[in-house]
Amino acid sequence: MSLMNEYINKKLSGPDLESELLKLIGKYNSLRETYLFVYAAAIGKPIPSVPLEQSDFYIFRDLLSGQGVHNKVDVYLETPGGSGETAEEICRFLHTKFENVSFIISGEAKSAGTIIALSGNEILMTETGSLGPIDAQIKIGRSIVSAYDYMEWIKDKREEAEKQGALNPFDATMVAQISPGELGSVFHSLKFAEDLVKDWLARYKFKNWRFTETHNRIVTKDMKKRRAEEIAKELTNHSKWRSHGRSIKIDDLESIGLKVTRIDNDFELADVVYRIQTVCRLLFETTTSFKIFATQDNKIFRQAVPTGQPIKIPHQQAPDIAEINQVCPKCGKSHKIYAKFVNNPKIDKDFREKGFTPFPSNAKLICNCGYEIDLSGIKSQIEMQTNKKIITD
């Protein structure tokens, strides 16, 4: 039976899955004699905060700052990428705090995620894991775009204008809105990412590289620097990988001279890592969580809190109830919920007879399809609007 089916058949709730994740982290720590930090984002969920952002660094620091007894940390990393500056802050903190930093890749760690992974003293990957070309994601107008793709588009338009003598009206309008400062910022974002990788590979990944494997020669600082430059050059060669989102697997990395530890060669460790990956994905699919930060001691789950749902509040100065129509994002089922502001048994009786359910005490609604909906945003919205506290049983 597949791991996904195994967990689905257990019909675990969101809290059950969270508990399972912490148990798996503890088991991983015992196997590797290290301290595991899980950072996973719901890649594909259309939520602006899914990519790596500065607030993530503060959570990294908060959850790991108190770990004075550990000198090793392993980071399970799954992210579509994001801020290169945040990647730098996270890596600087990790290497200041711990003597040895390793990264576990079983899903995707693209763009800024790849940059982070390349700072590790060790990179561990499963067969399903993948990195991506080195790049920076930047904000242009209201969109987040690949710096490399943006520069390539500019280059293509420049060549087209030189060849044809003019651009079509649409492209001409777009190009006219680009400032020299913006172009410079994009260029420097690309160089920033490349320089980070060169520095980190030589300083951290090759830290314990003492002798060459072929001729058993002593490895010098210049040799480490040259190897780092060669690898960075390969990973910034987008014409080779063809796509900003291209999945670069273990064999690809080893072919350009990057040594990777194959998790699948250790059956027990691989089972734990694949289970961590599966549980994280189930949490993303069955709850409103879109980002997970977890150790065996603490956890923080960022929720996509639904707001703006149809809410009916009686037009009176001191309303006793509010009615909510919450639609499940997964199956589309409509849930009729009432929130009361006074402890009146008649309200419960009347609204239950109308097919309403009371506002849950933990602000979590479990749909019949198994999806867990976080109602804390709606709770705050109602309480701010009425200036009254919701009473739950």
Residue 211 pLDDT: 76
The pair of three-digit structure tokens given for residue 255, joined into one six-digit string: 């072919």
Task: Looking at the structure, tell me whether residues 105 and 13 fall in a common domain.
Answer: yes
Task: Looking at the structure, tell me whether residues 82 and 198 fall in a common domain.
Answer: yes
Q: Report the DSSP pairing between strands 100-105 and 122-125.
A: parallel
Total domains in the fold of the chain: 2
Task: Looking at the structure, tell me whether residues 9 and 109 fall in a common domain.
Answer: yes
Nearest alpha-carbon partner for 76 in 264, 303, 292? 292
DSSP 265-286: GSHHHHHHHHHHHHHHHHHHHH
Task: Looking at the structure, tell me whether residues 240 and 104 fall in a common domain.
Answer: yes
CA atoms within 13 A of residue 217's CA, in its CB half-sphere: 7
pLDDT along the chain (393 residues), means of 10: 87 89 97 97 90 95 85 96 91 95 96 93 97 74 66 74 75 63 61 85 85 75 86 76 71 91 97 98 91 94 71 73 88 91 91 93 88 85 84 85
Query: By three-state DSSP, how is residue 335 classified?
Result: strand
Task: Looking at the structure, tell me whether residues 294 and 225 fall in a common domain.
Answer: yes
Nearest alpha-carbon partner for 189 in 149, 221, 132? 149
The pair of three-digit structure tokens given for residue 125, joined into one six-digit string: 């990957």
**Amino acid identity, residue 134?**
I
Residue 280 within any structural domain of the chain: yes
Residue 154 pLDDT: 73
Residue 349 within any structural domain of the chain: yes
Task: Looking at the structure, tell me whether residues 269 and 337 fall in a common domain.
Answer: no
Residue 173 within any structural domain of the chain: no
DSSP 365-391: EE-TTS-EEE-HHHHHHHHHHHT-PPB
Residue 35 within any structural domain of the chain: yes
Domain residues for 259?
3-137+183-303
Residue 171 within any structural domain of the chain: no
Nearest alpha-carbon partner for 101 in 64, 55, 131, 54? 64
Residue 155 within any structural domain of the chain: no
pTM of the shown model: 0.77
Task: Looking at the structure, tell me whether residues 281 and 361 fall in a common domain.
Answer: no
Task: Looking at the structure, tell me whether residues 88 and 198 fall in a common domain.
Answer: yes
Residue 44 pLDDT: 87
168, 169, 176, 293 from 173: Cα distances, Å? 9, 6, 5, 43
Task: Looking at the structure, tell me whether residues 128 and 54 fall in a common domain.
Answer: yes
CA dist., res. 219 & res. 211, Å (int): 5
Q: Report the DSSP pairing between strands 137-140 and 372-374.
A: unpaired
CA dist., res. 210 & res. 220, Å (int): 8
CA end-to-end span of the chain: 41
Task: Looking at the structure, tell me whether residues 227 and 337 fall in a common domain.
Answer: no
Domain boundary at 268, 303, 338, which? 303
Residue 320 within any structural domain of the chain: yes
Residue 172 within any structural domain of the chain: no
Task: Looking at the structure, tell me whether residues 89 and 205 fall in a common domain.
Answer: yes
Domain boundary at 303, 337, 359, which? 303
Residue 109 pLDDT: 95
CATH number of the domain to which 23 belongs? 3.90.226.10
Task: Looking at the structure, tell me whether residues 123 and 241 fall in a common domain.
Answer: yes
Q: Which letter does DSSP use for residue 354 in this model?
A: T
Where b means 16+ CB within 10 Å and e means fewer, 24-59 reads: bbebbbeebebbbbbbbbbbebeeeebbbeeebbeb
Domain boundary at 253, 279, 303, which? 303
